[in-house]
Amino acid sequence: MHHLIGRRIAALESRQRLEHDVRESLGRVVAVFAHMDDEITSGGLLRQLGACGQSRAIIVLTDGRANPKTDPGVVGGRDHFEVRREELSEAAALLQIPQVLAEGRFHDFNLKSYHDEAAGYLRRQLESLRPDTIVTFEPSGTNYHPDHVATHHIVRAALVSLKADTRLLMLTPPGLARLIFGSRQRQPAKLLELACGAPENQVKCKLVDIYRSQRPTTNQFLLGMQPETFFGRVITKEWYYLCGWQ
């Protein structure tokens, strides 16, 4: 059944693969996410970019404190943000990403309220990091999570003020899910597919294990399956829209 689902998704797609030369052309990459653990969804890309020797950094905008499903058995009496930041540090070490910014400046599940402040903060970080490509969510946030949607718009606002010649590589849902959530592109964009093999799937499974405090949420994301089954048989690829900013 899992193989049938995967073939059905593949049959619905018309796309270009993210081959080695395309990945290398991305240059310096900064991934901008709403939450500490969002990088799981781009774990395959981040791992492959590292294997190519490319510069990568991660910026996380929210403090991650508002998830009601955070496992109290893992967090105990500690601050949720500090626990999740420790998990992010462990994840970055696994991905061999040396530059990680997660300052918890903006409240989880309320990122839209900080749009202007967050865009200014992000612009300052991007001025320092000088990326060629930014990886972030597409306009739907991939699942309409308000913080994911806000992150997309904050990235765009930061780029407007930065006036940088930077490309956007926007994570988009797979197959049928894209039809449900919708991809409302404002500019011409190219759909790219990244095939994830055993090394990428192993990294994603390890990332799920690292975020112990978020396991109730990731279990939902994995549709109740074991990570090895989900990444190895069901969602074996990542999909992105690539568009120039200028």
Higher pLDDT, 234 or 13: 234
User: What is the set of domains in the chain, with CATH numbers?
Assistant: 2-244 (3.40.50.10320)
- Across the range 109-115, mean pLDDT stands at 98
Q: How far is CA 33 from CA 103, 111, 134, in A?
A: 13, 11, 10
Q: What is the pLDDT of residue 226?
A: 97
Decide: 167 and 134 in contact? Cβ < 8 Å.
yes
Once rounded to an integer, what is the mean pLDDT over residues 175-182?
Answer: 64
Using a pLDDT cut of 70, give the percent of the chain over it. Answer: 85
Categorize the per-residue pLDDT at 34 as very low, low, confident or very high, splitting at 50, 70 and 90. Answer: very high
Instruction: Write the DSSP string, 198-213.
Output: HHHHHHHHHHHHH-GG
Neighbours of 169 (CB within 10 A): 21
Using N-to-C axis directions, what is the helix angle for 43-51 and 80-95, rounded to 10°? 40
C-alpha 223/C-alpha 62 separation (Å) is 25
Return the DSSP state at 106.
B
Predicted confidence at residue 183, as pLDDT, reads 61
pLDDT interval class at 176 (50, 70, 90): low
Percent of the chain topping pLDDT 90: 73
pLDDT surpassing 70 at residue 40 = yes
Cα 107 to Cα 96: distance, rounded to the nearest angstrom? 27
- Tell me what the mean pLDDT of segment 93-112 comes to: 98
Q: Say which residue the tokens 């009601």 belong to.
A: 68
**pLDDT at residue 24, as a whole number:** 75
pLDDT reported for residue 201: 97
Place of tokens 């967090």: 75
Distance CA 172, CA 81 (A): 27
The pLDDT of residue 179: 63
Please provide the size of the chain in residues.
246
pLDDT tens, residue by residue, 182-231: 666 555 568 899 999 999 999 999 999 999 999 999 999 998 999 999 99
Model pLDDT for residues 127-158, shown as the tens digit of each residue: 999 999 999 999 989 888 999 999 999 999 99
Flag whether pLDDT at 173 surpasses 80. Answer: yes
Element (H, E) at 115: helix 115-129
Among 69, 70, 26, residue whose Cα is nearest residue 48 = 26
How many Cα atoms within 13 Å fall on the side-chain side of residue 187? 14
The reported pLDDT for the residue numbered 178 is 67
State yes or no: pLDDT of 164 exceeds 90.
no
Tell me the average pLDDT of the chain.
89
| Residue 122 scores a pLDDT above 70 | yes
- Measuring CA to CA, which residue among 200, 172, 196, 166 is closest to residue 28? 166
